[in-house]
Amino acid sequence: MAGHSSDIEADNYSDWSGLETRLESFRHFPIVAQVSAERLARAGFYFTGEADRVRCFSCHQTVEGWHRGDAPVDRHRHVSPTCKYLSCVHGVRPASPMNSSLAYDEEAEDMEYRLRRGEVVDDTMYPVAPHMRSEDDRLRSFAGWPTSAPVTPRALAQAGFFYLDMEDRVQCFCCGGMLSEWSSGDDPWDEHEKYFRNCFFVLGHDVGNVPSSLPPEEPRERQPSTDSFEERLRSFTGVSHPIAPERLARAGFYSSGPPDRVTCFTCGGGLKNWQPEEDPWEEHAKHYPGCRFLLGEKGQEFVNRIQLGDPSGSGSTPSHQNGIPAPGRDEDPLEKLQKLQREKQCKICMDRDIAIVFIPCGHLATCNDCSQSLTKCPICCAVITQKIKAYIS
């Protein structure tokens, strides 16, 4: 036991920022039956190996003398009220004379943690209008839709909107976002993504949407049979597209309108303005990382690489599902440099370089300044539990 203690205390180079690493350190914790190792690790602590002393990986303060019923986050707050980890992950702020006597709500903290981990789902948050999960129900809400409106009820319902019976105002059943004053040429999907880009429905998350069971209005409207590769491929009949239809169909897309718009049969995400050199799988992962079909076919690791701007390792070897290689071309050095510079830019201010990795999703998306006020990842909308500084050469 003495040797074990010495090894942990002397390991000044260990990275204790990972929850699993901290949790592993409590394997020999002497009073684990009295104080939960999981709660200690979640509060930022790792076991030092000496008595019952634990240390925060962020502020380096130690706490000991634990008793049954102690709340790790509460004790952490008392010895280190300005700890950045407590502030970012648990939302703990320095105590003031008004709140210093308030006890930490351990049960609420535990529920918040399980919500972040996805162990439980908060059905009170999404969708905002659960009674409009069904596309057919949304479509029926447009009974009084003005006939002069330039956008059709079917297109709006497919994009997640239902009518509010007020001029041309509609609302998304998932995020609750409202849009009005539609103009000729407006695409509901594009407008939805433009104004509410973090909407879970737009991002392709499974929010309980029920596709329409009604027959399509036009040949290229979404069809129930588009879950078949052959049917998706058939939707491109007569369509001149810059990307080979086979590659688009393999990646889950079917043709959904001129000039080159496609839609995923699973998440409903739409893409247009394609360039010949673009890869359908990569574009799918870039814009709709939460799509179940995408994750099932390519895996989370592939999606993470694309989100981080590093498609290498998957792009060079086509998968069995997408066996047609992307057409190659010699990229102009200046164009390549500009592309790399854009990939390194903060996705919020588009000025400074990206520098912060969000945990647990792993996305590298913002500079240090822009990350300060974020509680959710701007790419996948996952709740941020930890922010780690990254150094890019």
Structural domains in the chain (count): 4
Q: 48 and 101 share a domain? A: yes
Tell me if 332 is assigned to some domain. no
Whether the Cβ atoms of residue 377 and residue 358 lie closer than 8 Å to each other: yes
Helices (H), 175-310: 188-195, 229-234, 245-250, 280-287, 292-298, 300-307
**For position 92, which CATH number holds?**
1.10.1170.10
Q: 101 and 157 share a domain? A: no
Tell me if 157 is assigned to some domain. yes
Q: 113 and 88 share a domain? A: yes
Tell me if 324 is assigned to some domain. no
Q: 23 and 61 share a domain? A: yes
Tell me if 137 is assigned to some domain. yes
With H, G, I as helix, E, B as strand and everything else as coil, classify residue 54.
strand
Q: What pLDDT is attached to residue 11?
A: 45
Mean pLDDT to the nearest integer, 115-141: 73
Tell me if 87 is assigned to some domain. yes
Note the residue count of the chain: 393
- Nearest-5° Cα angle at 238, 237 to 243: 75
Burial (CB < 10 A; 0-12, 13-18, 19+), residue 213, is exposed
Whether the Cβ atoms of residue 84 and residue 78 lie closer than 8 Å to each other: no
Q: 56 and 6 share a domain? A: yes
Q: 269 and 368 share a domain? A: no
With H, G, I as helix, E, B as strand and everything else as coil, classify residue 150.
coil
Q: 112 and 140 share a domain? A: no
Tell me if 316 is assigned to some domain. no
Q: 38 and 138 share a domain? A: no
Q: 97 and 76 share a domain? A: yes
Q: What does the buried/exposed string (b/e) look like for 269-301 if buried means 16 or more CB atoms within 10 Å of the residue's CB?
A: bbbeebeeebbbbbbbbbbbbbbebbbebbeee
Q: pTM for the complete prediction?
A: 0.32
Which pair of structure tokens corresponds to residue 157?
């319902």
Question: Domain boundary at 195, 213, 241, which?
Answer: 195
Which stretch of DSSP H or E encloses residue 171?
Answer: strand 170-172
Question: Domain boundary at 117, 152, 177, which?
Answer: 117
Q: 9 and 104 share a domain? A: yes
**For position 366, which CATH number holds?**
3.30.40.10
Q: 110 and 158 share a domain? A: no
Mean pLDDT to the nearest integer, 348-354: 71
* Residue 295 pLDDT level (bands cut at 50, 70, 90): confident
With H, G, I as helix, E, B as strand and everything else as coil, classify residue 344.
helix
Q: What pLDDT is attached to residue 137?
A: 94
Q: What does the buried/exposed string (b/e) look like for 33-45 if buried means 16 or more CB atoms within 10 Å of the residue's CB?
A: eebbbbbbbbbbb
Q: 93 and 155 share a domain? A: no
Ranges 56-70, 136-150, 196-210, 252-266: which has the least confidence: 196-210
Residue corresponding to tokens 């479509």: 139
The answer, yes or no, to whether residue 293 has pLDDT greater than 60, is yes
Domain that holds residue 369: 337-389
